[in-house]
Structure 1
Amino acid sequence: MKNYAFILLVMVPFWAFCQEVKVVFDKSIPIDATTFAGRDGFENYFYLKNEVFHKKSDTKEVQYANFSLGIPSKIDLINSLKTTLFFEKFNTIVLLDGQLNEIQKIDLSKASTPIIASYAGLSSLNSLWIYNTINQQLLLYNFQLNTIKSIGNPFMETPSLYQSNFNYFYWINSQNELFSMSIFGDIAALGKIQKGDSYQIINDQELMICRSNSFYIFDFKTKKEHKILDVEKSFKNYYYKDQILSIFTNEEITNFKIIRP
């Protein structure tokens, strides 16, 4: 009964705002975690339990821990066969394979170019996006060739948010304006957004915004946001992938299918 009560709380206010998008309860999954990192397209769930990183499916669970580095400050699941853990405190990146075996550990303090990173995420062509706080410069670091390339000009101010995918690095400035930069250094202004509690880039066209337990999608083309979901029950964080919105509470992950025309 608990799941059905949760559905009613989120569905009733939702339909008052948006008829062209349908939200359908999928399932709830019990989880013992301190932080939910996300899910992939193969129904694997990634999370932290204290300092241990877990990958769990219905049939299997694997773990990774590096107690000398502690808890990762960022987990990038854009490619679950090359999961990227960024340990900002130690200026270190760890790459893991699909079984959470360590592929490579990169100490940016030993790079040929001085780097103190505040962001790291997987890009294309065996590269990582890195934001270097020393000179506010965006970098592409090729971890196979051990080469570093500056992308674009140094930032004029420190962004309030960074996110990335294979081809683009996204940031929000102090005026709450959203921008992207391609791997070639091309910059696009994507619009001014309303402030949110958290954000997630969905794809190259849309941004998900969570604000006061409500979810919105901001369209880069129309420069408008649309509410898709209200959640009455408190939650810790969320993750959106492949039209599934996963909401993490203290006890479980609740999945909703976001069906769009």
Structure 2
Amino acid sequence: MHKLIYILLLLATITVTSQNYTLEKVNEVTIEADTFIGVDTFNALYHIKDDVLYKDDINDGYQFTALQLGAITSVDILNPLKISVFYEATNTAVILDNTLSEITRINFSAIDDFRNISHVATNGDRRLWVFNTDLQQLEIFDWNTDQITTQFPPMPVNATTLATNFNFAWVVNEIGLFHYNNYGSFLSKTALQDITLISQSKGAVILLSQGKLHYKPKESNDFIALDTPDFTIKQLSLNGEILYLYIGQKLAAFRLKLPKKP
């Protein structure tokens, strides 16, 4: 495995445009995974098999399991030194280091200000983006103090998925895609429907909407429809200009070829 690494709110609405962006396939490997998570900034690959989280880089392999917490809902590898693993069944997040050893565990049912959480992602060194289903809103949670530091405007419906980095969050629900900054401000809404998968890298965003890929460069406000490969995409992950598509036992890497400026 180690060698695989190498080989409501309508204040602003984003439009969807079409340009000649292309995907150039650069590699394909076989992995046995229930869920492909992604490739981090150090080119380590993460996946889940039988509710065990695996990390593989060129030199070593690591794994983490906490079966008493239930099935793994999500894993965020934005900060490879503080990886967040979320278990929705037990309303618990676990923070892991770069060897997948446990740093701390947050039970959202046990804190003073009880809340039910559906999504967790890394926000900062000791902070998490969390989606509070009781209030139907995004929040930033400080796991060092067990306090909410930022609350966002309530949404008409709960989130279905999200993508985040240290400064921004893109929240998907049945209405569309909502974009926020780290200070609790709403930035824009995209009216794409049936978004099932989403990933971001350095502010660029890619998503799967109605079975088609759409890409937004960091410097743009518009999503661009891509020519989508003719296979079922189970998971996707964007890392710089490389897009990883997991199609079940096969992990394909594509280079995003952007249009040349005239």
* TM-score category (smaller protein): 0.7 to 0.9
1:41 is matched with 41
* SS of alignment partner, residue 89 of structure 1: helix
**Structural mapping, 1:211-230, within 5 Å:** 211=209, 213-218=211-216, 224-230=222-228
**Structural mapping, 1:1-261, within 5 Å:** 18-19=19-20, 21-176=21-176, 178-204=177-203, 206-211=204-209, 213-218=211-216, 224-260=222-258, 261=260
Contact kept, 8 Å, 2:92 with 2:105, in 1: the verdict is yes
Provide the aligned C-alpha RMSD in A: 2.5
Q: Give the deviation of 1:24 after TM superposition.
A: 2.6
Write the distance in 2 (CA, Å) between the matches of 1:136 and 1:213.
27
Identity %: 21
Write the distance in 2 (CA, Å) between the matches of 1:47 and 1:111.
30
Write the distance in 1 (CA, Å) between the matches of 2:105 and 2:133.
20
The CA deviation string for residues 156-181 of structure 1, in whole angstroms up to 9 with x for no partner, is 432444332211232245432x3222
Q: Please list every run of 5 or more consecutive structure 1 residues that lacks an aligned counterpart in the other structure.
A: 1-16
The CA deviation string for residues 24-50 of structure 1, in whole angstroms up to 9 with x for no partner, is 322222212111111112221100111
The verdict on how the C-alpha distance between 1:56 and 1:94 changes in structure 2, with shifts beyond 3 A counting, is: same
Q: Please list every run of 5 or more consecutive structure 2 residues that lacks an aligned counterpart in the other structure.
A: 1-17
The CA deviation string for residues 97-140 of structure 1, in whole angstroms up to 9 with x for no partner, is 11111111111111121111111111024211122222234322
Q: Give the deviation of 1:92 after TM superposition.
A: 0.3
The verdict on how the C-alpha distance between 1:210 and 1:172 changes in structure 2, with shifts beyond 3 A counting, is: closer
Write the distance in 2 (CA, Å) between the matches of 1:70 and 1:126.
24
Which protein shows a greater Rg?
1
Count of residue correspondences: 242
Write the distance in 2 (CA, Å) between the matches of 1:216 and 1:76.
21
Write the distance in 1 (CA, Å) between the matches of 2:168 and 2:24.
31
Write the distance in 1 (CA, Å) between the matches of 2:139 and 2:233.
34
